[in-house]
Structure 1
Amino acid sequence: MAHTFESLTAWQVMLAGLVFFGGIYLLFGIATWLLTRYVLPALGWGGVLDTRPLVPGQLRRELTQSSVSILIFGLGMIFPWGLLQLGWAHLDPDAGGWQIFLEILVLVAWNDVHFWVNHRLLHTRLLRRFHLPHHRSVVTTPFSTYSFHPLEALMLGNVILLPMVLHDFSFWSLFSVPLFSLFFNCVGHANYDFFPRVSYAHWFAASRRHHLHHACYNGNYGFQFTFMDRLFRTRLPADAASAQLAMAGRRGGVERSV
């Protein structure tokens, strides 16, 4: 598979990238939407985190912005392919199962570091205007995952480039990055508490933490895990959005009673 990827033309790489990123976005997004809107509630498993309604036109906006991100991610496959063509990076065609497993663990950890750094930069005065399109989704959906400004898509989409020049990864290890990244992203933006009995600090409470990031705007800059927010003291308390949600609930009650 590694040899096949390297032997593709530039146009074939970009076309394959567009099909791949578009396909996984729709597959993961629709699956998470159905799971959290119909299947899990019917089973009595977990619950919605923010019960406020979506703003009018939100899904259409998220899909439109996401299509631009998919275009950037897909065409951006030219960069890892280019590193291989230039000889600045290489794939390991002989990697065994244990090596691939360990490489994926390293990439999972790196993904969290890379995301935290870029996400924190996007909340600075210099760059925050480029992050605001994503934060228009205060109540998130699985389709919020790629709903970025193009600059944010460029910043987050370069996650594998540095690891590639530092180590000869297996093709399958690198291939796993957009898959686990989008999976974690869908979980974080699902607006659904999948495991309400686990602690707020637990890995499985990532949806709670990212829900608070969108509700409060600042804090909880991490991806799936908490080690970067713990290290830099940017983790929000579990009740950080209680006041906003309570106020929204009171407004909703008044509006419904009128």
Structure 2
Amino acid sequence: MSRAIRMIKLYENVVIGNFLYGLGFAIRDCLDGRTVFPGMVNQLQQTPVDKELADVLLSFPGLVRLIEFKMKGADLKKEKLRHRLLTLALSGADDAPLLKVSRSVHWYVEVSTVLTDTPLVCRAVPYLDAFSPQSQQEDAASLEHLIEQTAREAVGDLGALAREHAQSYLRRVRMTLAGTSTAAGGLLLVMGKGGSMRFAQLQDISDLNLPDRLWLDRELHRQEPTHEREGPALEHVLERDEPDFELSM
């Protein structure tokens, strides 16, 4: 007696949600609760900023990361157009430094569409290399590995100059890919040692590019935080130790 096997398909938003959920746990495992750890976790998919940036924007003391998630076999016509526009925007004679920053900050992650015991990341490459022939070869890894690698880098120390370069790159991406869009705000969430939560409103997602201490001081000390307005960004401030390593995605 034969029995039909039902294939269960993964969807992009499910993968992104679990990546961010798992990242929170992975970062917590890297911390020991001694000092304040500011972090910005922005799920931008299907928001106005998605078209201007990507699906996910992360900013931690050790990294700034813009990630575009795509399912293997998806229709990539719009994405390839965005890729061409950005490539042209970075082709100027003075853009070599931004090209280097792009390959550190901006990533393209291709995920298997078939649900297996361990969802596979088919490719994780710099966005600018996503559609080059050399990058088409799959290098499968677990989603857990991608999460753990991102978490280890997040608790490092990016440095002020590298962060400034990363923000310059994000501004270039947004100017290149932005059409007619609606401003998108966000929420700053501060987690206390006892588990208490405090919220502050951010009027525009670009405020997330401010230095950690600046937005903490401005948003938390200027006024009592509220949670009346929601936005696509959820900010987490945890407790951190002082790691002595630095990894690249």
The verdict on a shared fold, with TM-score over 0.5 as the criterion, is no
Q: Report which structure shows greater RCO (CA 8 Å, sep ≥6).
A: 2
Using structure 1 for the length normalisation, give the TM-score.
0.28
In terms of fraction of residues, the more helix-rich structure is 1
Using structure 2 for the length normalisation, give the TM-score.
0.28
In terms of fraction of residues, the more strand-rich structure is 2
